[in-house]
Structure 1
Amino acid sequence: MDHTRVTCPNCGGHFEIHVRATRGKCPHCSISLIYETVREPPVQEMPRAAPEPAEPAAVPPPVVQPPPSEPAPSEQPAAEAPPQAVQEKVDITRIEHLVDAMDHERGAPRPSISDIAVIESLVPDTGHLSIEKKVDRLLRSRTRTKG
């Protein structure tokens, strides 16, 4: 089992990743993700008659976790359980709208007097004017050589 199925916390899309992958992007919404290995709760097993030979430990599949909800007081985890990592959901479109709104609120900055002076001293370099000047120079040089 080289691949495992994960769910994107941003768009909810499902896709498969390699079990040893630590970083990647969601193919649906292109958000960058960090994959964490999550241990699943132990399953009670029947006692075995004879121990099996030692096998290499299988790597548990990484899973992107949704933010955990507050457990009820009766469901508090035991003190021995390792703490779970918190994965935050990010709404990129909301952030983009906020940034755009900030740009519109500020408006365009007013140029200072020195900025206006520098801008007016610059000669506008438009493609048409420079080409027309070159053509005029060529025509003048040809008429001078002929006459």
Structure 2
Amino acid sequence: MLLHILARGRIARSPEGEMLDRYLKRISWPVKHTELPDRGGTLPALATPARRVLLDERGRQLSSEEFAAMLGRWRDDGVREVRFEIGAADGHGDEGRAGADLLIAFGAMTWPHLMARAMLAEQLWRATAILSGHPYHRAN
């Protein structure tokens, strides 16, 4: 199953970009990171079956274990791609949110978009580590 991060704006050379790259390289599943212009631009066509997950302040707050279990279910159900979309500064519109399979939030605080990418990559690494039995995640 392809884990695909789509984000508005460029991360370029930055500490957040280095962190993003570090975690993406650790993920053993197929993973892709696509940058889109701040406004406009078209999203690549979704593979079928696929899921759209939007990072949104109105989204659900999942534990790492819940997130891993969700990815594991989708993988086992034959989902070919999970697209994680990070919007521009104004977030996602109502239409975008309505068309998503899931909205998730990294807590009640607002996070910079560049940090959100790195945090998502870390959570994807953590989820795949949980699913493979790797000791990276230390459950309570």
Question: How would you bin the TM-score normalised by the shorter chain?
Answer: under 0.3
Structure with larger RCO (C-alpha < 8 A, sep 6+): 2
TM normalised by structure 2 equals: 0.21
